[in-house]
């Protein structure tokens, strides 16, 4: 049975950590008000998260479905100081369809590397060298920064799109959750379901605007799934507009469907000392091959992005909200 951790606010407005299993039976973990504090204590004690949870008094049972319906479920990780939580990601990591891969390779062989776009070159670098043997360093992936803890949304929170955005669309992904120990080592707590929300129209305008297009919120599903992920993951992403489903498509993840291994993507993120500051939290999104934008969908305010996957019990359901325009005045001191 896989340990799953959830953060909620109780009906009496107290923060609580829940522990549960594949069957969906969740109880309060007494003595801790956050996953962050639980994990930090586990690191200090030299215990696994499972052993840490088992050592704590078992509190009352909680119906997570009810808590979700009441909007009381938080993102499964946060930081007491949101500026010390970093949301990042990697792109061009998933293989997509076999037909698409074959076409890419055929084009590379027929026309030579000079005819390929930079994105295609990077994708093929991952296909060739994204899963290195033990002890070897693999190809670097595309990497981007999304923001700090202030951009992280919970499983039912609105995804706030700035007024200047040209688009707002979903990206169904797996996200790794990490805490940096006092020894400067990254500790992976587990994985969460994510919507790596992006502005695809801006990105399409010029691929050098990728950095701008990614400065948007990201939402995490209710559960932090402790341990490794299966090699093959199946999910479904959809957009609901009122009572209508305007788009729906399955997606695949897990290393069987990726050009990079998780270990290679982790290496190329945490090789930077900047990202190994004791006490910091990292949420790293691992990419996808599926997005409604690629199918010509234009989202609008009130659309709800629903994402579910077979390795998580609870789905994401985040409405799109465009923020009011604001004027930023620069003040000289």
For residue range 214-263, what is the model confidence (pLDDT) as tens digits?
999 999 999 999 999 999 999 999 999 999 999 999 999 999 999 999 99
pLDDT of residue 108: 56
Beta carbons of 160 and 323 less than 8 angstroms apart: yes
**Would you list the DSSP string of 25-69?**
-EEEETT-S-HHHHHHHHHHHT--HHHHHHTSPEEEEE-HHHHHH
Q: Is the pTM of this model over 0.75?
A: yes
Per-residue model confidence as pLDDT tens digits over 141-162: 999 999 999 999 999 999 999 9
Token pair belonging to 272: 């930077």
pLDDT 10s per residue in the chain (333 long)? 899 999 999 999 999 999 999 888 999 999 999 999 999 999 999 999 999 999 999 999 999 999 999 999 999 999 999 999 999 999 999 997 444 445 545 555 566 666 778 888 888 999 999 999 999 999 999 999 999 999 999 999 999 999 999 999 999 999 999 999 999 999 999 999 999 999 999 999 998 999 999 999 999 999 999 999 999 999 999 999 999 999 999 999 999 999 999 999 999 999 999 999 999 999 999 999 999 999 999 999 999 999 999 999 999 999 999 999 999 999 999
Alpha carbon distance 95, 76 (integer Å): 28
pLDDT of residue 97: 41
CB 177 within 8 A of CB 189: yes
CA distance 257 to 95: 6
Nearby residues of 220 by Cβ (< 8 Å), 6 or more positions away: 75, 76, 77, 152, 153, 154, 155, 175, 192, 193, 194, 283, 316
The H or E element containing residue 127 is helix 118-129
């Amino acid at each position: 049975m896989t340990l799953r951790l959830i953060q909620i606010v109780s009906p009496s407005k107290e923060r609580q950590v829940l522990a549960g299993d594949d069957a969906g039976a969740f109880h309060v973990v007494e003595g801790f008000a956050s996953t962050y504090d639980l994990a930090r204590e586990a690191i200090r004690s030299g215990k696994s998260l499972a052993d840490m949870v088992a050592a704590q008094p078992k509190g009352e049972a909680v119906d997570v479905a009810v808590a979700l319906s009441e909007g009381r479920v938080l993102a499964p990780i946060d930081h007491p100081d949101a500026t010390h939580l970093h949301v990042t990601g990697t792109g061009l990591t998933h293989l997509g369809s076999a037909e698409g891969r074959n076409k890419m390779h055929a084009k590379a062989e027929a026309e030579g590397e000079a005819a390929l776009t930079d994105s295609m070159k990077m994708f093929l670098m991952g296909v060739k060298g994204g899963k290195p043997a033990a002890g070897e360093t693999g190809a670097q992936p595309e990497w981007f920064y999304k923001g700090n803890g202030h951009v992280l949304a919970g499983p039912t929170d609105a995804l706030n799109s700035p007024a200047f955005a040209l688009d707002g669309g979903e990206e169904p992904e797996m996200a790794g959750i990490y805490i940096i120990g006092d020894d400067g080592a990254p500790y992976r707590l587990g994985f969460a379901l994510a919507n790596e929300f992006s502005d695809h129209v801006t990105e399409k305008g010029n691929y050098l605007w990728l950095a701008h297009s990614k400065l948007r919120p990201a939402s995490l599903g209710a559960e932090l799934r402790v341990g490794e992920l299966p090699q093959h993951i199946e999910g479904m992403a959809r957009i609901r507009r009122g009572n209508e489903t305007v788009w729906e498509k399955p997606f695949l993840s897990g290393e069987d469907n990726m050009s990079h291994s998780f270990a290679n993507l982790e290496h190329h993120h945490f090789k930077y000392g900047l990202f190994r500051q004791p006490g910091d939290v990292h949420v790293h999104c691992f990419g996808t091959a599926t997005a409604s934008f690629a199918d010509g969908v234009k989202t609008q305010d009130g659309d709800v992005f629903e994402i579910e996957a077979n390795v998580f019990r609870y789905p994401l359901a985040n409405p799109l909200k465009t923020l009011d325009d604001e004027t930023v005045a620069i003040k000289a001191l």
